[in-house]
Amino acid sequence: MSGLDAKANMDIDVGALGKVAVLMGGRSAEREVSLMSGGGVLAALRARGVDAHAFDPAERDLSALKAEGFARCFIALHGRYGEDGTVQGALELLDIPYTGPGVMASSIAMDKIMTKRIWRFEGLPTPDWRLVASAEETSQALAVLGAPMIVKPAREGSTIGLTKVMSVEECAQAYALASQYDPEVLCEQFIDGDETTCPVLEGAGQVQAGRAQALPVIRIVAPEGNYDYQNKYFTDTTQYHCPSGLPQAEEHEIQRLVEKAFRTLGCRGWARADIMIRASDRQPFLLEINTSPGMTSHSLVPMAARASGISYEDLCLRILASAALDGGAGRP
């Protein structure tokens, strides 16, 4: 379960992929990172002979995709209007296959509260939480969940708007910051332990087609345990361990959980789940799942793929080849 067969790309007919739009930029708070992801993907696909072109939905109307004959889209957008089901719905109407999960799965995964409700219903471990609508309710959540507590927008990514609250005095400011990005604010129990992430990738072509499989787990060691936006994308001080160095049984359990979390939300194509391992008893907890993960030089899916013998270029090609519509059309 440690990786996918790198020979799967041999079954991909690049010519059959047609004219490809790499959607990047967009209107979300993660625009800057999306442009970096999209630039990397664009260069990788062109290196593999794909007729790929940059397309920024913030600057051009999506209807141009149909008018200009694009056959499929690689979604390198992050956050709102990119991985929340909105772009996916537009591409469904345009009848243009796209990478990553479909409309419903993307929408649910973007909403951390809905994701946690489903995971909890399905018996998957996720930290306890409260949905709050005021600074007062944030203070009440702290009394229940205990300190430290994580306060964050319900529908943002890349730790944008997130605060680690240590006391009641910090609750009002934490709520004010999170509510700038989303009217729904999530207070979450803090899990003290190892921070990890694990990508899931479906097969492409004739090898393992349609089968979602976890890649190697990455263990993250951030400065002072603060894996924030700056330490994710713009510094070199965060350490990434892949192989993770975790006991084999723990790594396999994380991979099992991530595959089940992926299936439970109805995901397809690819995604990446974030997991904390509680230090006291080594219990893993699912935090969230990203349906359009970063593909920058600091990104984690390419790192796990390399550990499985899959180059960045081949990873991009495989993801592109898995592009589909919710009805299942679009596979090579």
The alpha-helical segments, DSSP class H, found in 170-311 are 171-179, 229-233, 248-264, 300-307
**What positions carry a catalytic annotation?**
30, 158, 233, 272, 274, 288, 290, 294
3-class DSSP state of 79: coil
Cross-strand partners of 151: 163, 187
CA-to-CA distance for 240 and 268, rounded, in angstroms?
Answer: 26
- CA angle, corner 328, sides to 19 and 115, nearest 5? 105
Q: Which residues of 254-285 are buried (b: 16+ CB within 10 A; e: fewer)?
A: bbebbbbbbebbbbbbbbbbbbbbeeeeeebb
Cis before 243 (ω within 30): yes
User: Alpha-carbon distance 187 to 194, whole Å?
Assistant: 20
Whole-Å CA distances, 225 to 79, 107, 175, 207 = 23, 29, 21, 39
Q: Using alpha carbons, list the distances in angstroms from residue 295 to 14, 75, 109, 201, 203.
A: 21, 11, 18, 14, 18
- The string of DSSP codes covering 141-158 is HHHHH-SSEEEEETT--T
Calculate the alpha carbon distances from 274 to 17, 20, 293, 301 in Å.
31, 29, 11, 12
